Amino acid sequence: MNQKRENWGSKYGFILAAAGSAVGLGNIWKFPYITGENGGGVFVLIYLICIALVGIPIMMAEIVIGRSTQKSPVGAFSALAGKDSPWKIIGWMGIFVGFIILSYYSVVAGWALNYTFMSLTNFFSGKSPDEIGSVFGMLYTSSGINIFWHAIFMMMTVGVVLGGIKGGIERWNRILMPALILIFIILAIISVFLPGWKDAVNFVFFPHFDKLKASGVLEALGHAFFTLSLGMGAMLTYGSYLQKDADIVKSSIWISVLDTGVALLACMVMFPIIFTYGFSPEAGPGLVFKTLPIIFAQIGSGGMFISFIFFLLLVFAALSSAVSLLEVVTSYFIDEKSWSRAKATLVTGGIIFLFGIPSALSGSGVLFPQWEAMYGKNFFDTFDYLASNWMLPLGGLFISIYAGWIMDPKLREAEYLSGSTFTSTWYYKVWLVFLKFVAPISVILIILQRVGLIDIDKLMAAIF
């Protein structure tokens, strides 16, 4: 039982792997389309506030808990709070949310795989923007193709997780993250020359407060958790493999800056195209697939190559996130049930594949069409909505309460200080204020507002 826990190969390796978990479909596929649906600048502003005030402090808390216990979520809370403690529910919830998110995440990654291979056929060349858009429609509604790519992507994820921490996850991230950022910078430079660039900057960076909706605030908060991989123990699990001499504050800030940078770059690639061609920013989940091929089509013969590389990197960005989702689930069975890594990975990967089938069939509407009629969302949207808007923020809320109020203060401080260059007690106290008050109160207020128990506008008017 007393095996030495696997570690990352280096501190840099941890930052890259954690950034690999954070940077994924959330940044490139989801952030631009929910920004489009929620009116642009004001949503981006709230999202940035959520990252800074809620995200970074909770990320540090997850890493502190993971590294101090050297365990995955259920084991970590059982070690800290006791074997029969209700706090273990945080760990259980994390596994459950990991199941749900990965099941539909893999379907979207499957679309990216499809586009990677379609790029090789130069499918967009000579097509009008509308025709390019309808290619996505065809893919979205075809059951067999969706299930096929979902299966392939799940096999890739299982393959990497089977390789373990250093050999699998870390090695890939070292090359792929920098490559992804490079290609985005190139695309963002190309976008600067499009006539719609100015409108895009105005849309993304200038808040129009009249567009602010309560549902948008909840979505921004939920997305801050989703994009930073918080609230379900993924960062906690990665932190459990972190060396004691690594700086938790610096790492968390780096991961968040990289993650936010990629999300904003993605917007600055996509929105200029949208405004140049007069598309609606509210195109929903198909946005990235409908817009980017338009630039690729214009680049001429090199477009095919760039398109292939872009979608391939998108697949890898998704893979490095998917791996962290699966790692949360498998590490439970490895740590707590003493399963071998191979057994845990294959069994849980298989079950998640099955769980994803309703999402893969959502576009074609062949499975329980009544569901959409009843709830106004198909399976895919329902899973995404529940997981990221509700379960992750709730998980994050409990983690901040545990780390801020319940965890042994000496242990917490020692773990914070281990390897830290932010050793002044000031920094530590500022973090505690965020962890104990700012983060949980913000999450509670946003949730109360969303369920209609309070009205923040009225509250503000009464206070000021």
**Which one of 15, 18, 25, 93 is in contact with ligand PFF (CB under 6 A)?**
25
Inter-residue contact 28 to 288 (CB < 8 Å): yes
Cβ distance to ligand PFF smaller for residue 102 or 360: 102
Does residue 26 bind ligand PFF (CB under 6 A)? yes
- Residue choice 7, 8, 16, 24 for contact with ligand PFF (CB under 6 A): 24
Q: Does 321 bind ligand PFF (CB under 6 A)?
A: yes
Which residues lie closer than 8 Å to 77 by C-beta, 6 or more apart?
Answer: 65, 85, 87, 88, 90, 91, 402
Q: In this complex, which beta carbon is closest to ligand PFF, that of residue 50 or of residue 297?
A: 50
Give min distance, CB of 149 to ligand PFF, in A.
17
Is residue 21 at the binding interface for ligand PFF, with CB under 6 A as the rule? Answer: yes
Give the residue from 257, 242, 190 showing the smallest Cα distance to 23: 257
CB of 169 to ligand PFF, least distance (A): 12
DSSP 283-316: -GGGHHHHHHHHHHHHTTHHHHHHHHHHHHHHHH
Q: Which is nearer to ligand PFF, 238 or 353 (CB)?
A: 238
How many CB atoms neighbour CB 88 within 10 A? 19
CA-to-CA distance for 400 and 388, rounded, in angstroms? Answer: 17
Minimum CB distance to ligand PFF smaller for 132 or for 183: 183
Stretch that binds ligand PFF, among 1-9, 49-57, 176-184, 319-327 (CB under 6 A): 319-327
Q: Distance between the two ends of the chain, CA-based, in angstroms?
A: 59
How far apart are the C-alpha atoms of 448 and 453, rounded to whole Å? 5
Check residue 78 for interaction with ligand PFF (CB under 6 A).
Answer: no
Please pick, from the candidates 35, 38, 229, 307, the single residue that binds ligand PFF as defined by CB under 6 A: 229
Contacts of 16 (CB under 8 A, 6+ apart): 170, 173, 174, 177
Among 324, 330, 331, 400, binds ligand PFF (CB under 6 A): 324
Binding piece for ligand PFF, criterion CB under 6 A, among 22-30, 156-164, 176-184, 249-257? 22-30
Query: Residues in contact with ligand PFF, total (CB under 6 A)?
Result: 15
CB 87 → ligand PFF: shortest distance, Å? 19
**Would residue 145 be called left, alpha or beta, if left means φ above 0 and alpha means ψ between -120 and 50 degrees?**
alpha
Quote the CA–CA distance of 336 and 45 in Å, as a whole number: 41
- Scanning 19-27, 137-145, 305-313, 429-437 for contacts with ligand PFF by CB under 6 A, the matching segment is 19-27
Q: Rounded to whole angstroms, how far apart are CA atoms 303 and 123? A: 11
Rounded CA separation 117/182 (Å): 21
Nearer to ligand PFF, 196 or 233 (CB): 233
- 390 to 429: interface string for ligand PFF, x by CB under 6 A: ----------------------------------------
Contact region for ligand PFF (CB under 6 A) — 226-234, 271-279, 404-412, 449-457? 226-234
Q: How far is the CB of 221 from ligand PFF (least distance, A)?
A: 14
Q: What part of residues 287-316 is at the interface with ligand PFF (CB under 6 A)? A: none
Region from 10-18, 21-29, 129-137, 301-309 binding ligand PFF, contact rule CB under 6 A: 21-29
Q: To the nearest whole angstrom, how small is the minimum distance from the Cβ of residue 109 to ligand PFF?
A: 9
* Residues 353 and 150: beta-carbon distance below 8 Å: yes
Name the residue nearer to ligand PFF (CB basis): 27 or 116: 27
- Of the pair 191, 321, the CB lying nearest ligand PFF is at 321
> What's the min distance (Å) between Cβ of 421 and ligand PFF?
26
Binding span for ligand PFF by CB under 6 A among 137-145, 228-236, 346-354, 419-427: 228-236
Q: Is residue 101 part of the contact set for ligand PFF (CB under 6 A)?
A: yes
User: By C-beta, is 7 or 27 nearer to ligand PFF?
Assistant: 27
> How far is residue 376's CA from residue 6's CA, in Å, rounded to a whole number?
45
Instruction: Report the nearest approach of ligand PFF to the CB of residue 314 (Å).
Output: 10
Question: Residue 317 Cβ, how far from ligand PFF at the closest point, in Å?
Answer: 7
Contact between 57 and 228 (Cβ < 8 Å): no
Report the alpha-carbon distance of residue 329 to residue 19 in Å, rounded.
Answer: 19
Stretch that binds ligand PFF, among 77-85, 223-231, 272-280, 375-383 (CB under 6 A): 223-231
Tell me the C-alpha distance between 11 and 34, whole Å. 33
- 3-class DSSP string for 29-73: HHHHHHHHHCCCHHHHHHHHHHHHHHHHHHHHHHHHHHHHHCCCH
According to the binding rule CB under 6 A, does residue 154 interact with ligand PFF? no
Query: Which own/partner pairs from 198-203 qualify as long-range (CB within 8 Å, at least 24 positions apart)?
Result: 199/271, 199/272, 199/275, 200/267, 200/268, 200/271, 200/272, 200/274, 200/275, 201/268, 202/41, 203/40, 203/41, 203/271, 203/275, 203/281
Give yes or no for a contact between 223 and 26, defined as CB atoms under 8 angstroms apart. yes
Residues that bind ligand PFF (CB under 6 A): 21-22, 24-27, 101, 226-227, 229, 232, 234, 321, 324-325
